[in-house]
Amino acid sequence: MTRPKKLLEKGTTTMSVDTSTEEMKIGARMDALTTNKEHKKLFAYIGAGAMIDAYDVYVAAGVSAALVSTGFAGVSEVAVFMSMTFFGMLLGAATAGFVGDKFGRRMSYQINLLIFAVAGFAAALAPNFEFLVGTRFIMGIGLGAELVLAAAILGEFVPPKSRGRWTAFLGILVNSGLLFASAIGAVVISNFGWRWMFVIGAVLAVIVWLARTRCPESPRWLVVRGRLAEAQEIVEKFEKHSATTIANNLPDAPTAESTESKETTKRPFWQLAILGTVVAVGVNMFVYGFISWMPTFFVEQGIEVSQSLAYTTAMALGAPGGGLVCLLLVNKLNRRTAIVVFSIIVIPLGLAYAAAQSIVVIVLIGILLVTVIYTLVTFVLYSYMPELYPTRYRLRGTGISYTFARGASIVVPFVMSGLFVSFGIFGPIGFVCVMALCMIIVVFVIPVETRGRSLEQIS
């Protein structure tokens, strides 16, 4: 039996309620809504911040190549630069979940964006490599937090029948950060230097931080914290602009299709954490173990940095393409099915990429490989993983998975550089294929499906 909680916080009256019952009621009211202008405003706030952070994650690829070509750093030092970014992201991911679950979603993602902006301006002024690494570590704290929060918060507002498509749209925005950063880098780095890449990201972050002061708190989180009156006020605001509410349209009952392959018993938290962590580590290895190194691989093979960035920009077309593929399939494929299918596709494409000799063939296969990788990224990070965990632990669970993923990302730059030196491009590609196999295995061993289910039903 759930212990009653007293509501003593601001905006409530003193009474005893069963918070789990109230959580179900608030969840049902949010799930009964049609998406409306309040959802769209929320998406704009979250999507803008997530895209800026994604842009800066991928800035590392172009900046790293420029650091090597200008003599500011060597290949081994670039590995340190990337690893310190991921170390900061590990710390950000680890703390953001606890801050978000304890003090609120809004507070957590405002703090992280401010940290990122301040450190970005400092990085642009770095007098030496050591200072740059230090500021990049601090930027990483903000980066790690933002990507933990974005999809989880959006999912707490959007009803189940629309959640997959909205998180896929978020994935498209975030995935576009690769194309955005590559395209800007091809112009800015070649003509003005790498420092301006950090200035651009920091200025945009300040603008979004100011806009997000208007963003609402999650009603699901508020009711879990016992702040029922505040939760009801926010839900009523969304209901005011909705074509349907709980009063005239109860949430749809699960269909045979939406409940396919879903077990009737609840999974313990540790199993959810293992599942979420393995798939998060897998897609992070794809992105940070291969894609972020593409410009540097080209430079080390004797291609000029300007050409390297141009080729990378062309291949980056696959990033938003992967989000579009997810958007088309997210309501047609179960999450688990999509993860298995696209993980399988990564393997032959990766081997074909490594074996290709012509630059045209490399770029064409590269576009397909990037598309498949980012289809997986969108399914895993923006649709599947945030849906696995219950509201009271959602950000912590997501944060734990991201923390392990970032921890692996600290090591992977050294692994990838060693593999590249020893085996050429086949080394990094082989590593990617092994990670794809690991994802397939864990999805089969711990079968949890989330498509079409309310967050309260899943948890």
Evaluate whether the domain defined by 15-452 bears CATH number 1.20.1250.20. yes
Q: How far apart are CA 402 and CA 410, in angstroms?
A: 12
Residue boundaries of the structural domains of the chain: 15-452
Beta bridge pairs of residue 400: none
Q: How far apart are CA 225 and CA 79, in angstroms?
A: 42
Burial 156-189 (b: 16+ CB within 10 A, else e): bbbbbeebbbbbbbbbbbbbbbbbbbbbbbbebb
Kindly report, residue by residue over 18-62, the tens digit of the pLDDT: 566 777 888 888 888 888 899 999 999 888 888 887 788 778 777
Evaluate whether 2 touches 19 at the Cβ level (below 8 Å).
yes
Kindly report, residue by residue over 328-354, the tens digit of the pLDDT: 998 888 889 999 999 999 888 878 877
DSSP state at residue 32: T
User: At 53, which amino acid appears?
Assistant: D
Q: For the whole model, what pTM was predicted? A: 0.72
Kindly report, residue by residue over 349-400, the tens digit of the pLDDT: 878 877 777 777 777 888 888 899 889 988 888 888 888 887 777 888 888 8
